[in-house]
Amino acid sequence: MTIPEGPVFALGTNLIHLGLGATAEVEPRFTGEMSWYGDYTRRHAGDGVEGRLVAMHSFTEPWDVWEMHPLGSEVVVCTAGEMTLHQELPDGTERSATLGAGEYAINAPGVWHTADIAEHATALFITAGLDTQHRPR
C-alpha cells in the first residue's frame, strides 16, 4: 500500500491494520461510525482471525455498550488518565480492574467488556475484531 498522506499519521485518525506476513497498513480516516468497522472488515477479510486493528481513543464518559470479540484477544493499554475495565466472563463471573497510564489488561476471546472513565482516559487497543459483537450497557 502506498502512503496516502505522508510518513507520519495520528493513531486516533488513521488506525493501523496488522495483517498476515507481519504487515502493517495505514487505514483510511476513522469516522467514528460503526460503518467504518464494517468497511475495515471487508478490506481485510482475507486475514481472517489473524488480522489485528490498532487504535487509540480518548474518553471522557463511561462506555454506553458492552463489547465482545469471539475469535481473538484484545489488548487494552491505558496511555493517559484512568479507566476501569469491567469484564463478564463466559461463566457469568464479573471482574473489574482500574488501569492507569502505562498499565494494560487483556480481554480474552468471548469476554464481554466495557469501561468507566474517571475524568479522562486515552487507551491503545490491539484488537482481533472479526465478528465483534455489541450489546447495550
Q: Please tell me the distance from the alpha carbon of residue 42 to that of residue 51, in angstroms, as a whole number.
A: 12
Q: Looking at the predicted structure, is the pLDDT value of residue 135 above 60?
A: yes
C-alpha to C-alpha distances, 80 to 19, 77, 108, 111, 121, nearest whole angstrom: 27, 9, 23, 24, 5
Cα dihedral 5/79/132/29 (nearest 10): -20
Indicate the fold that domain 16-136 takes in CATH: Jelly Rolls (2.60.120)
Q: Looking at the predicted structure, is the pLDDT value of residue 1 above 90?
A: no
| Residue pLDDT, tens place only, 69-106 | 999 999 999 999 999 999 999 999 999 999 999 999 99
The residue extents of the domains of the chain are: 16-136
pTM: 0.92
7 in the Ramachandran plot: left (φ > 0), alpha (ψ -120 to 50) or beta? Answer: alpha
